[in-house]
Chains A and B, each alone.
Chain A
């Protein structure tokens, strides 16, 4: 037997990347997974390289980042790659999740994959937030202050938890140090979760496909067909990433983070990076602090409800026109929330944000189950003899 099939570790490579029987009809929307793996690899490689030159202390963090930008050979390239790939990572993960929602990838038997995926999203957000604090510019400090203070909403022990996280009575040197340690650690946790994500779906039925039916009639080996298909989007992604990194590296960043952190001066607006804005908007739409924090976390965890609330007998929405409409309304609503998250808390943005928040949760817990029941009934009526 070939060593590729008998070796305990190479066997995994073979069954995930070489012989993996993959549905012949999957579209380019099934390429996000490999792109996300590439993102994680870029982030770990550039991140470890940056860590070789970075100093996690409140006095030196900003200077060490500028040292990387100015004095380290190609340091600017490494840092801009790290910062822009973070954005690309989220852009692609949202598309990946959108693909999953559209084609019903969360439905049994891929429920475990979907649950692990949601955990990956949460850890990704935590990692991104921790990383944003490290340059210790104005937005780093104040973002960290705002987000860690969310924990103070927990009744009775909230303030103690916040001070425990800070290691002091405000965001300080200890906070920056532990954030650095955690930011270094979490990507490897992510890598492990990614492996679990892969195992979870390769060990059941492998990739879903656009038709939502069993693909057992027509499968192809992963190599060479999907290896070369993935490579197409990988190079396309590299081109887009290069345009950002080399020609507009700060387009997605906030200029406030090029100002040294100053605890005595609050910036006019404290805004997270674009990829966290929808959840920030949900947080701010709820007038009660504790409920707002709960709503924000629930907004992410709501994804886990999809296997339960989608009662449709069909996988995916491609043959379900009502669900298709609901899906695109959900996408538009997500983009609206992203806009609202960057606005000042004022009329009309408060009202729009609240409506969008209600619509966001309604999609998961009302619209999806109701629409799927309606569509099931319509299908039954149409097919009953």
Chain B
């Protein structure tokens, strides 16, 4: 293309010099040479196109497949995409599900996993009443401030307290779990690739038997979704392991779904409020945007419709 336009331009210059008047003739001069052998030109073009397509395909065959630094087992299986209702732009959390999910956390997960960033008070009004939450808090004992003798005593929990961790420190947690540290769950759906889908897939993805050929280390369990496939946590959710107060059948997937939604709430408790504010913001801003477009149009209308006239200077004709 580059070469051709140079050629055409220089041809044109030559043509202009030789003919002196017509500059249009030059482009047909360049075309005439090519037109003398259209078959060979077509053949060359076809072969070049075939070679380009072929070499691209060959390159793709050799190198085009996406390479992975880690094996699929090390990477972990990609979590299935589930149609989480609460992830839609215009949906809130299902607060009945949050309530059930908290029950699953309290009765199943809480024996190993902390939820250290969630205070009891934050669940008041979102899934429980004040009295219910106070009762949950009072089940746990907390250290008091030092009294006048400097002794630290125990007191029942209050709404302002945070959910206590199952272990006093990391070492105790590791010792109780064969060296593995159960992660804090407060931010788990934000802190893992795949978010809700990953946690749900992990909880429900334990096969009855590890597949043939899979190496499972001592004290580990096989889960294809966990990076490396060897996970210290065993399957914990079995049908009927909790009894829901609202009568929902506690199947494995139902519990997993509820607890994932609860964990998503504990990672972003502001979500309902955020989306509601977002609708307000978009409504307000689209209004302002509309006004700004109208005003701009109004201000610019005289300019857009102006007529520019060239008045040639009056003088003697040549």
Q: Which A residues lie at the B interface, using CB under 8 A?
A: 24, 66, 69-70, 76-77, 220, 224-225, 228-229, 231-232, 234-236, 238-239, 242-243, 245-247, 249-250, 255-256, 258-259, 268-269, 322, 344-349, 351, 374, 378, 381-382, 384
Contacts and interface: CB of A to CB of B under 8 A. Distances in A.
B300 interface: yes
A228 B292 contact: yes
Contacts of A231: 292, 295-296
27 contacts: A24-B303, A66-B186, A66-B187, A76-B268, A220-B303, A225-B299, A225-B303, A229-B300, A232-B292, A234-B292, A235-B285, A239-B285, A239-B289, A245-B278, A246-B278, A246-B282, A247-B275, A247-B278, A255-B191, A258-B190, A259-B191, A268-B70, A346-B67, A346-B68, A347-B67, A382-B9, A384-B13
B215 interface: no
B154 interface: no
Interface in B260-316: 267-270, 274-275, 277-279, 281-282, 285-286, 288-289, 292-293, 295-296, 299-300, 303
B117 A66 contact: yes
B10 interface: yes
B190 A255 contact: yes
Contacts of A349: 67
Contacts of B140: none
Contacts of B192: 255
B217 to A, nearest CB: 18
B243 to A, nearest CB: 31
B40 interface: no
A225 B297 CA distance: 10
Contact of A246 (B6, B68, B227, B274): B274
A378 B9 contact: yes
A346 B69 contact: yes
B296 A76 contact: no
A225 B300 contact: yes
B64 A348 contact: yes
B67 A242 contact: no
Interface in B132-164: none
The 6 closest A-B pairs by CB, nearest first: A246-B278, A344-B69, A258-B191, A348-B63, A235-B289, A258-B190
A384 B281 CA distance: 60
A259 B187 contact: yes
A70 B117 CA distance: 9
A378 B13 CA distance: 10
Interface string B1-19: 0100110011011000000
B190 A250 contact: yes
B39 interface: no
Q: Is the interface of B mostly helix, strand, loop or mixed?
A: helix
Contacts of B279: 246
Contacts of B190: 250, 255, 258
B193 interface: yes
Contacts of A384: 13
B195 interface: yes
Given A234-B292, A242-B282, 8 more contacts: A69-B270, A76-B270, A242-B285, A246-B277, A247-B278, A268-B70, A322-B5, A384-B13
B288 A228 contact: no
Given A239-B282, A256-B191, A232 B293 contact: yes
A382 B303 CA distance: 35
A351 to B, nearest CB: 7
A232 B296 CA distance: 7
A118 to B, nearest CB: 30
B232 to A, nearest CB: 15
Given A242-B282, A322-B2, A381 B292 contact: no
Interface in B235-276: 267-270, 274-275
Contacts of B12: 381-382
B299 A76 contact: no
Contacts of B122: 70
B299 A224 contact: yes
A242 B299 contact: no
Contact of A255 (B195, B277, B295, B303): B195
Interface string B66-89: 011110000000000000000001
B292 A246 contact: no
Given A66-B117, A236-B289, A255-B192, A378 B6 contact: yes
A231 B274 CA distance: 26
Contact of B275 (A246, A322, A344, A345): A246
Contacts of A234: 292
B103 to A, nearest CB: 22
Contact of A228 (B5, B286, B296): B296
Nearest to A346: B67
A66 B68 CA distance: 34
Contacts of B70: 268
A13 to B, nearest CB: 20
A24 B308 CA distance: 13
Given A225-B299, A255-B193, A347-B67, A381 B10 contact: yes
